[in-house]
Structure 1
Amino acid sequence: MTNTQLQPRLESARAARPLPQTAGASPLPLPASAVDQLVSAALAEDAPWGDLTSHALIPGEATATAFLTAREEGIFCGEQVIEAAFRLAGPGTAVIPLVRDGERFDAGGILAEISGPARTILTAERVALNLVQRLSGIATLTARFVAETDGTAARITDTRKTTPGLRALERYAVRCGGGFNHRHSLSDAVMAKDNHLAVLAAAGLDLATALRTARDKLSHTVHFEVEVDSLDQIEPVLAGGADTVLLDNFSVGDLYRAVELVAGRALTEASGNVRLDTVAGIAATGVDIISAGALTHSVRALDLGLDISTSLSAQ
């Protein structure tokens, strides 16, 4: 690939609601130790005894410069993982980010420059790409959901439907896309869902009483959320002290009615059937939160590539 081909192309091919230039306030970086742990595990999985191909073919003294390039537009996420992947694969690499987390890029854009030992760059290439493609895919999809809710007060949030082991990275990507995070784990907050309520019903327990009993056991700092799947459950849940009422798979008409019934006594969250073609209508009902598992559980990785410059050299 020539240097001319690697120059960013400032084209404006946008959808009906274009991606923002910056998807939101730059999120706080992840702890470096957490990123290193995840990336180290990925490198160990991909090259447990070293990179046989690179060591057999590439002279040890060869150096190279590579460019992370975009084949399509999107919102970028992955500064830390790119840096960690090449640093942990071997000493002597330098990574220069050209696009920051949360920023929009165009197809053809150069997102980062990596230089150093050719073997190290080749060894870390796939791990770096796997992570940054997925994280940028999440950030991009999140930004599209956020754009669809523009003009409403609704927050787009993720769920716990994340890739095992990658939750911290994927939730960071949601923030890069302008979204928000739901509870991080089962230890963060009380969230009584349909199966919890089914157990209570099977035991013959009154819903409001059971919820109040649970509420009394909690610290004042613990958030208390309860899922409902019908309008007639709302009053007992509010009587039980819920901070948020999760409206699961409600029709748009019932969401309007639910918001009216809650009347500001708790936060309202819509979940289920949340897609790009439905989220605007859901947001218009006045719900406070819209949670979408699709942000992380079925996202498409963006098409990004790592292109080695033709000026590869040996010293």
Structure 2
Amino acid sequence: MTAEIFRPVLPVLMIEDQVKAALVEDLGRAGDITTYATIAPERVATAEMNSREEGVVAGIELARAAFRIVDPAVVFEAMAADGDRVGPGTPIARVSGPARSLLSAERVALNFLMHLSGVASYTARFAAEIAHTRARVTCTRKTLPGLRAVEKYAVRLGGGSNHRFGLDDAILIKDNHIAVCGGVAEAVRAARAYAGHLVKVEVEVDTLEQMREALTAEPDAILLDNMGPDTLREAVAINRDHSGLDEARYWAAGRRVMLEASGNVNLSTIRVIAETGVDYISTSKITMAAPTLDIGLDVTIA
């Protein structure tokens, strides 16, 4: 029986910190002087946030928090949920309350919603390209400073998976570590001796010779950096032979070394990479190059 996969959750405390920082940046020392100058304090309004293109929604609770922190009197009604697929004209949320507060919170709310929905939507496009394979697209530590946790949340909403969140939750031995340490296998063994029993160890290799050396030290995963499809297929075969399992048992086994491909990954190449048989494909593009999802806020009643 396949376990039900629940949608990811973003901790409330994380939302508060992110949104407060953005509001302080935007409102500055004097607040929204344009709105204060043109809108009477007693005016109320209702506005809708609508998607103007197809995509995946992410960031609803950050948008809600932006209005609530500016003014608890604002009523925020979500009309879509994070992870929902929307099309042009789809209503995402309705907000009503003091007009000054709606206008002052608008940009921060939309910035989070548009950016995170963009990350989720772009990830979904990558995931769709490889849906017929066993591979999964995964993000990296290449994220906008201060937004890593929420961007990684959006990646999961788009059907991707998360790589490590920082330098402290998994060991990834890269080429510079190997150069200083003195060798692939030596670096993996040192990491194994240092790490706790719940910490995964992955090592990056540039050649099949390095991969064979890495396998002797039994890492949890091997990152195959900038290898072409033919080389990746050979790497999968080497890994299967090393495991001592037949093909059916190899794919079913939970203790084999995972293979991750990285380098030159885009929407044009990810399908070919996935079809080589690797387990994961990491790319910074789903966080660093994702276009925003076009979402607008339009006043409907004033």
SS at match of 1:161: coil
2:130 counterpart residue number: 149
Matched, 1:273 2:271: no
Q: Which runs of 5+ in 1 are unaligned?
A: 1-23
Do the aligned residues in 2 keep the contact of 1:27 with 1:172 (CA within 8 Å)?
Answer: no
Paired AA for residue 226 in structure 2? N
Paired AA for residue 303 in structure 1? D
| Deviation, structure 1 residue 91 | 2.1
Equivalents in 2 of 1:69, 1:250: separation in Å?
42
CA RMSD of aligned residues (A): 1.3
| Deviation, structure 1 residue 213 | 2.5
- Name which of 236, 243, 250 aligns with 2:227: 250
1:188 counterpart residue number: 169
2:25 counterpart residue number: 45
Paired AA for residue 147 in structure 1? A
Against the structure 1 CA distance between its residues 113 and 249, is the aligned structure 2 distance closer, same or farther, given a 3 Å change threshold? same
Write the deviation string for residues 109-136 of structure 1: whole angstroms up to 9, x where unpaired.
1111111110111001111111110000
Q: What percent of counterpart residues are identical?
A: 47
Equivalents in 2 of 1:213, 1:198: separation in Å?
14
Q: Which runs of 5+ in 2 are unaligned?
A: 244-255
1:31 counterpart residue number: 11
Runs of 4+ in 1 over 6 A off after TM superposition: none
2:201 counterpart residue number: 224
Equivalents in 1 of 2:173, 2:264: separation in Å?
20
Against the structure 1 CA distance between its residues 26 and 84, is the aligned structure 2 distance closer, same or farther, given a 3 Å change threshold? farther
Do the aligned residues in 1 keep the contact of 2:77 with 2:93 (CA within 8 Å)?
Answer: yes
| Deviation, structure 1 residue 108 | 1.3
Write the deviation string for residues 145-191 of structure 1: whole angstroms up to 9, x where unpaired.
11111121111111001111011110110011011110010000110
Equivalent residue pairs, number: 284
SS at match of 1:221: coil
1:197 counterpart residue number: 178
- Name which of 287, 303, 309 aligns with 2:294: 303
Equivalents in 2 of 1:169, 1:207: separation in Å?
34
Equivalents in 2 of 1:178, 1:214: separation in Å?
31
Equivalents in 2 of 1:210, 1:107: separation in Å?
51
Paired AA for residue 130 in structure 1? N
**Structure 2-normalised TM-score?**
0.91
| Higher relative helix content | 2
Do the aligned residues in 1 keep the contact of 2:8 with 2:157 (CA within 8 Å)?
Answer: no
Do the aligned residues in 1 keep the contact of 2:117 with 2:293 (CA within 8 Å)?
Answer: yes
- Name which of 111, 117, 135 aligns with 1:136: 117
